[in-house]
Structure formats: C-alpha cells, structure tokens
C-alpha cells in the first residue's frame, strides 16, 4: 500500500472509513448505476464517463496539499450527512432524479467533514465541485436553454445561407430550401456539445491557466465557441442539402458533422487557452 493511502487511513481510522464507504455504496449504488445508464444512452451526457477519471487525476494532482491539510474532524459533518439523507428522501418521494443525485454529493461532503474536517474539504473543493459535472442537466433546465438557442442558431444560419444567394425560408427552427426542409434540433443548436465542452474546458482551464481570471475567461469562451461552431454546421448542412439533397442532412454525414464540430470547438478552446497562457508569461517577463 502506498504512502498516500496509508496517510488517508491514518487520518480517521480504517473502521470508520469502512463504515462510511459501505453506507455510501449501500445507499447510492442504484443512483450510480442510474447515472451510468444515462451516460450510455443519452449523447448529451456521454462526457459523464470522463468526469470520474478527471476528478481522480485532480485529487492525485493535489495529493500533497491534501496530505498537509490540518485535520480537525467536526461533528457538524453529521448534520450535513443528515441533510443529505433528507434531500435524498425528498427526491425519492418526488421522483426527482437530480435531487437524489445531488444528495449523494451532500453525503460525501458531510462524511469528509466528519472524518477529516473543514480544512480537508477545502483541500478537495475543486475536484469535488468538478465531479458535479457527472450529474446531467435537469431536463426542464436543458429545454429552457435549448429552445431559444435553437431559434437563435436557425435565425443566424438562415441569414448566412441567404447571403450566398440560396433561396431559404425560416419558420421557427425549420429551414425550408427549394428541395428539402431541415429542422434544427437540439444536437444542431449547440447545447449538446456545450455541456460536454464546458466540462472539458473547466478541466483544461484549471491545468493550463495560472490565475482565476484567465480560467474564467477561458471557460466563458467555450459558450460562444460552441454556438458559433454549430451555426457553421447548420450553414454547411443547408448548403450541401441544397445541392446533394437529404443525404447531406441525415445519416452518417449528420453524425460525422456533429463529431467534427465538437472537435473543432475543442481545438479552438485549446488555442484560446494557449494564447492566454502565452499572454500571462509575456506579462510576467515584462514585470521582470
């Protein structure tokens, strides 16, 4: 057993770790399996498979900070655990999946505070918060954002298609060309790639940027990048559909275009992050 795990066990004692870990698994195992099922069946949430791996990396990256944290176990953690169980019960009675999933994180926070103290909770705060990306965006919130975004993407795309001389009419999120009618769905609005892109951008920003301001700028840049990339996707699909027909809008091309747009967005984010990091180094050199 390595030194890191030995110290973790020494902090609170093996029996308590077993009790709290066992309780967590017994209570939340159905929640975890339900999460994995969502990741596998809903393309909007497929990034969930990466989040535990990235979270583990962040915990390992901060291991020295974690091991040097002041240990002051607090009984206040029991109150937080109780609140987590209450939230779990309310979610169960109301069939609210998101509420139940959030209760899992409240339980974890309470357990850490009870076993190790608030200093330890602060030490793991970023990985802890990042792990929340595992929870899919609630459907009602997702639809609240997706609907106006579909309309916006459709409107802008139609203007670009019109500018290059292709006759086009727009009705809501429907694009009507001479030979085909296209519907801009969630996948083309940018919301699907945005959730995944934000999760990866937050991780990249944390690793690549040295200041909070630059990290925030980089994360916020992912929003217009995802939207603009998907506008480009709709424009290209509209142009190709005008000349190639339905095969350009459905099937393999449609799926490949979605993957291509996401990869382009990711590369642009990396480029923005590289420029921000260079700007930071240049600023420090000037100060010297």
pLDDT in tens, 50-73: 999 999 999 999 888 888 888 888
**Considering the chain, what is the average pLDDT of its residues?**
83
CA dist 188 and 170 (Å) reads 15
Q: State mean pLDDT over 95-124.
A: 91
How many other CB atoms are there within 10 angstroms of residue 230's CB atom?
29
Least confident among 139-143, 242-246, 276-280: 242-246
Give the Cα separation of 159 and 223 in Å (integer).
21
Q: From start to end of 98-236, where are the E strands?
A: 169-171, 174-176, 181-183
- The fraction of the chain above a pLDDT of 70, given in percent, is 84
pLDDT band at 193 (very low <50, low <70, confident <90, very high): confident
Q: What percent of the chain has pLDDT over 90?
A: 35
* CA gap 221, 217 in Å, rounded: 6
- pLDDT band at residue 36 under the 50/70/90 scheme: very high
Token duo for residue 64: 């020295």
Q: Where on the phi/psi map is residue 178: left (φ > 0), alpha (ψ -120 to 50), or beta?
A: alpha
Q: In angstroms, rounded to a whole number, what is the distance separating the alpha carbons of residues 86 and 90?
A: 6
- Region of poorest pLDDT, from 114-118, 183-187, 191-195, 261-265: 183-187
Q: Quickly state the pLDDT bin for 74 (edges 50, 70, 90).
A: confident
Tell me what percent of the chain is helix, strand and coil, each rounded to the nearest 5: 80, 5, 15
- Specify whether the CB–CB gap between 222 and 197 falls below 8 A: yes
Q: Please give the Cα distance from 287 to 61 (Å, whole number).
A: 29
Query: Which range has the worst mean pLDDT, 24-38, 133-147, 180-194, 207-221?
Result: 180-194
For 167, the token pair is: 């006759």
**Beta partners for residue 169, in sequence order:** 176
CA geometry: angle 215, 218, 220, nearest 5 deg: 105
Mean pLDDT of 158-163: 88
Q: What is the mean pLDDT of residues 67-87?
A: 89
Q: Are 54 and 134 in contact (CB under 8 A)?
A: no
pLDDT (average), residues 155-172: 85
Rounded Cα distance, 57 and 150, in Å: 35
119-138 mean pLDDT: 92
Cβ–Cβ under 8 Å, residues 249 and 177:
no
For residue 171, list its beta bridge partners: 174
| Confidence band, pLDDT 50/70/90 cuts, at residue 187 | low
Q: Quick one: pLDDT at residue 22?
A: 83
């Amino acid at each position: 057993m390595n030194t890191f795990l030995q110290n973790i066990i020494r902090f609170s004692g093996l029996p308590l770790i077993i009790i709290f870990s066992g309780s967590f698994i017994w209570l939340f195992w159905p929640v975890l399996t339900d999460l994995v099922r969502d990741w596998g069946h809903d393309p909007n949430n497929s990034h969930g498979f990466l989040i535990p791996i990235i979270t583990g990396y962040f915990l390992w990256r901060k291991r020295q900070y974690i091991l040097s944290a002041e240990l002051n176990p607090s009984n206040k953690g029991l109150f937080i655990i109780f609140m987590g169980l209450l939230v779990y019960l309310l979610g169960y009675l109301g069939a609210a999946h998101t509420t139940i999933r959030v209760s899992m994180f409240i339980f974890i926070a309470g357990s850490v505070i009870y076993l190790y103290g608030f200093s330890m909770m602060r030490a793991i705060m970023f990985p802890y918060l990042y792990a929340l990306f595992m929870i899919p965006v609630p459907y009602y919130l997702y639809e609240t954002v997706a609907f106006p975004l579909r309309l916006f993407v459709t409107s802008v795309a139609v203007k670009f298609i019109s500018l290059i001389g292709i006759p086009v009419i727009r009705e809501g999120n429907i694009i009507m060309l001479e030979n085909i009618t296209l519907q801009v769905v969630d996948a083309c609005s940018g919301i699907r790639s945005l959730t995944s892109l934000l999760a990866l951008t937050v991780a990249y920003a944390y690793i690549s940027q040295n200041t909070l301001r630059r990290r925030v700028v980089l994360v916020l840049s992912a929003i217009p990048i995802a939207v603009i990339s998907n506008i480009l996707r709709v424009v290209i699909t509209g142009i190709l559909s005008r000349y190639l027909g339905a095969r350009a809008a459905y099937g393999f091309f449609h799926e490949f275009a979605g993957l291509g747009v996401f990869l382009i967005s990711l590369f642009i984010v990396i480029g923005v992050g590289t420029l921000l990091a260079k700007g930071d180094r240049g600023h420090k050199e000037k100060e010297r």
